[in-house]
């Protein structure tokens, strides 16, 4: 008896990835409701309660700072009131990060050394995330933002050639095509109560990059993932009366639809698992062919169904 077509694994993975996208939509509707009523539904490790918007700087001292953000507030479960995000240093209500470092080993773009020189990148894309962080060190709480790129198995920034359009590159984020998450700066330290969320995805469109501002040509594309949570409620009476109830209803309806689709997708995957002609059985078959199973589906089977591949 032959086993089912193993390519069905990609169909199941697409269902799981689609569910992830819908879950993000569900969470976005929840954040809209929380913002409208000025109160979070649940206590989460860290929330963005306001701000950290990408902005165009007018400060000539920040001309080489490719990431510039306006000030913002965060709230973590170790705090009673929202805290101003102050590090990297907040100057003129702006926070900035650069891809042009003094030390390439700690740069946002981490490059290999070739014949003793750091490699020059050209005609490629690099991908990464901007993190909002909160952590304690020596009894003090620090709130910051940092950026990091997706790394390859060699530990250096993963790059792809520009044989796809920028819109196709953005779809890689939407479809959760990166199996390895980047790490934020503070996560690399031995800090207490460390917590973070990603608030932006970014793509660096690299025409030429040698680590210097004068020579490099790098263009930034940002994908806004911020979810502003409950702290400021709608102040205008008409907005509070007419808009807030609709946002609450919208969140309830979307959540109901998500839960229904989630159950249906789990049922489909369960029927796939129970096909009788896996040889010798489903778990043994895929443990022998684990490299063929996408990481997201493998994680879903473990967390949702208790199946370890």
- The DSSP code sequence of 232-300 is SPP-SHHHHHHHHHHHHHHHHHHHHHHHHHHHHHHHHHHHHHT-TTSSS-HHHHHHHTGGGS-HHHHHH
Q: For position 176, what pLDDT does the model report? A: 73
User: Considering only 72-81, 257-266, 280-289, which range has the smallest mean pLDDT?
Assistant: 72-81
pLDDT tens track for 246-264? 999 999 999 999 999 999 9
Nearest CA-CA partner of 109 in 19, 218, 214: 218
User: Is the pLDDT score of 79 beyond 90?
Assistant: no
Q: For position 235, what pLDDT does the model report? A: 74
- 3-class secondary-structure state, position 29: helix
Q: For position 220, what pLDDT does the model report? A: 95
- Please give the distance of CA 143 from its chain centroid, rounded to a whole number: 18
Q: For position 39, what pLDDT does the model report? A: 85
Nearest CA-CA partner of 67 in 142, 146, 166, 136: 146
Q: For position 12, what pLDDT does the model report? A: 95
User: Is the pLDDT score of 1 beyond 50?
Assistant: no
Report which of residues 297 and 183 the model is more confident about. Answer: 297
Q: For position 174, what pLDDT does the model report? A: 78
Q: For position 236, what pLDDT does the model report? A: 72
Q: How far apart are CA 225 and CA 308, in angstroms?
A: 31
Q: For position 3, what pLDDT does the model report? A: 66
User: Is the pLDDT score of 189 beyond 80?
Assistant: no
Q: For position 74, what pLDDT does the model report? A: 92
76 in Cβ contact with 82 (< 8 Å): no
Q: For position 297, what pLDDT does the model report? A: 94
Token pair belonging to 134:
């909160």
pLDDT interval class at 155 (50, 70, 90): confident
R_g of the chain, CA atoms, integer Å: 22
Query: Which pTM was predicted?
Result: 0.83
User: Is the pLDDT score of 78 beyond 50?
Assistant: yes
User: Considering only 16-20, 136-140, 288-292, which range has the smallest mean pLDDT?
Assistant: 136-140
- What is the rounded average pLDDT for all residues in the chain? 88
Q: For position 106, what pLDDT does the model report? A: 65
Partnered with residue 299 across adjacent β-strands are none
Q: For position 29, what pLDDT does the model report? A: 94
pLDDT tens track for 90-127? 888 888 888 987 666 667 898 888 888 889 999 999 99
Share of the chain above pLDDT 90, in %: 47
Report which of residues 229 and 136 the model is more confident about. Answer: 229
204 in Cβ contact with 166 (< 8 Å): no
């Amino acid at each position: 008896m032959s086993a089912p077509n193993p390519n069905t694994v990609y169909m199941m993975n697409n269902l799981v990835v689609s569910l992830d996208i819908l879950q993000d939509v569900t969470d976005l509707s929840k954040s809209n409701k929380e913002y409208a009523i000025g109160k979070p539904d649940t206590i989460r490790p860290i929330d963005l309660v306001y701000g950290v918007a990408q902005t165009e700087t007018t400060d000539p001292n920040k001309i080489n700072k490719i990431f510039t953000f306006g000030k913002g507030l965060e709230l973590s479960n170790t705090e009673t009131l929202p805290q101003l995000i102050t590090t990297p240093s907040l100057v003129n209500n702006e926070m900035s990060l650069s891809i042009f470092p003094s030390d390439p080993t700690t740069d946002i773009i981490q490059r290999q050394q070739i014949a003793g020189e750091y490699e020059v990148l050209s005609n490629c894309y690099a991908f990464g995330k901007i993190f909002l962080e909160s952590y304690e060190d020596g009894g003090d709480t620090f709130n910051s933002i940092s950026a990091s790129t997706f790394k390859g198995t060699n530990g250096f920034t993963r790059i792809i050639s520009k044989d796809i359009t920028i819109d196709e590159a953005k779809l890689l984020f939407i479809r959760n095509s990166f199996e390895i998450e980047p790490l934020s700066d503070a996560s690399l330290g031995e800090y207490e109560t460390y917590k973070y969320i990603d608030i932006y995805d970014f793509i660096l469109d690299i025409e030429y990059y040698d680590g210097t501002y004068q020579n490099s040509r790098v263009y930034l594309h940002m994908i806004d993932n911020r979810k502003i949570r409950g702290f400021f409620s709608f102040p205008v009476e008409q907005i509070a009366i007419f808009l807030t109830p609709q946002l609450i209803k919208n969140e309830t309806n979307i959540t109901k639809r998500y839960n229904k689709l989630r159950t249906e997708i789990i049922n489909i995957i369960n029927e796939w698992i129970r096909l009788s002609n896996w040889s010798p059985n489903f778990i043994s078959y895929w443990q022998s062919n684990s490299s063929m199973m996408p990481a997201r589906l493998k994680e879903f089977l473990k967390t949702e169904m208790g199946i370890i591949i």
